[in-house]
Structure 1
Amino acid sequence: MSRLSTIRLEDATGLAAEVFAKIKKAAGKVPNAYLTLGTHSPEALSAALAFDAAVAAGTLGKADIEVVKLAVSEHVGCDYCVAAHSLMGKLAGLSSDEMKQVRSGTATGDAKRDALVTYVRILVGTRGTVPEAAVDAVRAAGYTDRQLMEINLAIASITFTNLVNRVNDTTLDFPAVQ
């Protein structure tokens, strides 16, 4: 059961109603996480969606974006985001096994993807300046400096959603991941 109150979709007004309508048109539904966020701060929901749009407009592929979001969500223990991005990862072409490997930090057999996962796990799991060897390794795997910034943006985006869902204990409306 979610901790924060959430309005019913049909009771939304103003900016919340506008944002919810756009989400429903694009996705067919308004996920619980967005419904809760928009209930309390439609401006924050709009900003989160703009963040995600900026990530999507970059040069990272959809599968790489979902790898980043899965790795971060698993690291911080956000079950809601793990479930949501497992579905999104499947739609982006990731297999169930690949997603399990990404979440656990074990090798997928794809050197570039493995370098991305390692880099993301270092970024979110350490403090201070990221070791130069970690940056060199992800570059050597084929990621550009622009993509390093896009990876950072994807991490920032999912971190906000993780925080919302961890505070709210958002009720899953995506298939649970074991």
Structure 2
Amino acid sequence: MRQFPLIKYAEVSAVNRKYFDHFNNKLGSIPNLYGMLAHSEQALDAYYSLHHHALSLNTIERVIVGIVVASLNNSPYCLDSHIMVGKLNGLSNEEINQIVEGTIIFNERYHFLANLVTEIVVGKGRPREQTVQRFLEAGYTVENMVDMIVCVADTTFTNFLTCSMGVPLDIPGGNENHA
């Protein structure tokens, strides 16, 4: 697998520099995903706008979508990133392992969310009607379903980018063992 180089701060365009400055100030470094997206004058800005918008799903629900999609797409970089965000937002190692394995028992509502995400990804956008019905019966709304599909698309995009271009983990070793 070819590994494309990441854009370094000195090479970044003026348009993308604001994102590099933001992450340097906030995290002390640039996530490798952004270092790859910065090869394009427009992609980093477009992705940032998509990824950092308000949705009707809470942070844990977004993390669940990210972990499920990254697991199904076998994307080490994205799986590692979503696991890290999950841990930072209070998910235990056991809960993360359940999400990765597709066996969520710690929360019934999240179970139905993960099932629908799985069917949408595996079925290429064609979940079974009973799975959609269970999702809605669990208290989710049509707005939640639309926002979940936006999250699926967001994660699928980054899965494809990081796998196709060989984006290395931000922290070597990362969360590979989940727990």
* TM-score normalised to structure 2 length: 0.90
- What is the letter of the counterpart of residue 49 of structure 1? Y
Partner in structure 2 of residue 137 of structure 1: 134
Structure 2 residue corresponding to 1:98, chosen from 95, 98, 118: 95
Pairing 1:61–2:58 present: yes
Give 1:128 shift: 5.7
Partner in structure 2 of residue 14 of structure 1: 14
Q: Relative to structure 1, is the Cα distance of residues 42 and 23 closer, same or farther in structure 2, using a 3 angstrom cutoff?
A: farther
Give 1:10 shift: 2.9
Partner in structure 1 of residue 31 of structure 2: 31
Give 1:26 shift: 3.5
Deviates more, 1:114-123 or 1:103-112: 103-112
Aligned partners of 2:3 and 2:165 also within 8 Å: yes
**Distance in structure 1 (CA, Å) of the matches to 2:123 and 2:25:** 39
Partner in structure 1 of residue 50 of structure 2: 51
Partner in structure 1 of residue 159 of structure 2: 162
Give 1:145 shift: 0.8
Structure 2 residue corresponding to 1:107, chosen from 104, 108, 126: 104
- What is the letter of the counterpart of residue 51 of structure 1? L
Greater helix percent: which structure?
1
**Distance in structure 2 (CA, Å) of the matches to 1:26 and 1:120:** 31
- What is the letter of the counterpart of residue 71 of structure 2? E
**Distance in structure 1 (CA, Å) of the matches to 2:86 and 2:2:** 25
Q: CA RMSD in A?
A: 1.7
Give me the identity figure in percent.
Answer: 27
Deviates more, 1:63-72 or 1:24-33: 24-33
**Distance in structure 2 (CA, Å) of the matches to 1:102 and 1:60:** 17
**Distance in structure 2 (CA, Å) of the matches to 1:75 and 1:93:** 23
* TM-score normalised to structure 1 length: 0.91
Q: Relative to structure 1, is the Cα distance of residues 164 and 28 closer, same or farther in structure 2, using a 3 angstrom cutoff?
A: same
**Distance in structure 1 (CA, Å) of the matches to 2:42 and 2:26:** 19
After the TM superposition, list the runs of 4 or more consecutive aligned residues in structure 1 that deviate by more than 4 angstroms.
none
Give 1:108 shift: 2.5
